[in-house]
Amino acid sequence: MQLTLTEKTCTKCQLTKPLTSFYRNKLLADGRDSRCSVCNRVEVDFNNARRRSEMGEAAYLEHRREQTTKSRAKTDNAVGKIYAKARNAAIHNLIANHVKEFDELFRVEKYERGMT
């Protein structure tokens, strides 16, 4: 028997809120973060302000640019690999399931190009 939760209590503000007020987190049993999105945002803003004051404005902005570039590179690379793998599998399945059609297509194309 599986219980479905509709509400959860935030560990920071101790308020009970609907599950939609919590970010998703696959690592936790219920699939939602332990802090609500409002408390999470407050903490992120606080940490960013602290870093900004410790590092100085220019260094902080450069740090954020570097982090954004690294994050985008990882995402683009991971997504690119996923698409390439899916594309190759689809092509392989297409060829495996339609061998005669592909053979005929390539034979006709070679003939039309004069590569018989």
Model pTM score: 0.54
Mean pLDDT of 68-83: 82
Q: Tens of pLDDT along 19-41?
A: 999 999 989 888 999 999 999 99
Which class is 1-55 in CATH? alpha beta
> Measuring CA to CA, how many Å separate 68 from each of 63, 72, 73?
9, 6, 9
Tell me which residue has tokens 């590092």.
55
**Better pLDDT: 112 or 90:** 90
